Each structure stands twice: as structure tokens, then as C-alpha cells.
Amino acid sequence: MARKVRRFSGGVYDLALHVVWCPKYRRPVLDGRVATRLDELIRQKADERGWEIIALEVMPDHVHLSVRHDPKSSASYVANQFKGFTSRVLRSEFPHLKSRMPTLWSSSYLAVSAGAVSAATVEKYINTQWERPGKKEEGRS
């Protein structure tokens, strides 16, 4: 994919992030209608902010998103815009997400400059999302 440089009054930029986040305790709740609606909501938020989705994959227990964003938006702002908006809407539209979980998303996320993340880094982040602070489950590695 060719790089797309954008201009604004103060300069030129080409900023992209790879963002990964998981449901609380890495529960596999992102399937069927929930996954379809989550995809729609992520695209809606990106359009609203003027961000470009490069790639999006919703898995049952995590979300991968590559997105181009403006220079005024920090990585934490980008991640939290997607997480906050989608949590609020999904939990109102799908009551089982409210009754089974204290919050939809884990409080953490992985945000890496696009092109700088290895598959091993992403896998390590995803594989540790089942852990509860101070508690290890048996049988997981």
C-alpha cells in the first residue's frame, strides 16, 4: 500500500497506529451480531474523526485496528475514542454484555506506530488479557 501524506497548515504528516484491545478478562463475546455491529461502530467513529481505517479485524476475544490519524490525536486518545464509544453503544444494544461483565473492555490496550509492531508483541499482549490483577488462572501459559 502506498503511503499517503496529508497536509495541514502547520506541516505534513503520515501517522498510523496499530491498536489492539480485548474484552474484560478476554471473554469471547465479540461474535455474530455483536461483531458486525462493532465493525460498523468503529468505522462510524473513524469517519466522524476524519481517520482512515487501513485494516480492521474483530475476533471473538480481541480487536485489531490499523488506522491513520491526525497529528493532534495521541495514541491514547485514538484508542480511547474507539473503546469508549463502542462500549457505550454495544452495552446499550446488547444487554447480555452489561449483565455478564462489569465493563466491556479491559482497561488496557496496545497502540504501536504502524510498521513497528511484531507479531510476537501483539500475541504477547493478547495472551495476557485473561489475567486478573493479582490472580493467575491455572492451565494458561
Residue numbers annotated as active site: 125
What is the sign, positive or negative, of the torsion defined by CA atoms of 37, 38, 41, 42?
negative
**Terminal Cα distance for the chain, rounded:** 36
Rounded CA-CA distance 140/132 in Å is 12
Residue 48 phi, psi (nearest 5): -60, -40
Q: 48 is written with which cell numbers?
A: 466522524
Grid cell, residue 110, equals 496496545
Specify the pairing of strand 52-59 against strand 62-69: antiparallel
Distances 11 to 8, 68, 78 between C-alpha atoms, Å: 5, 16, 20
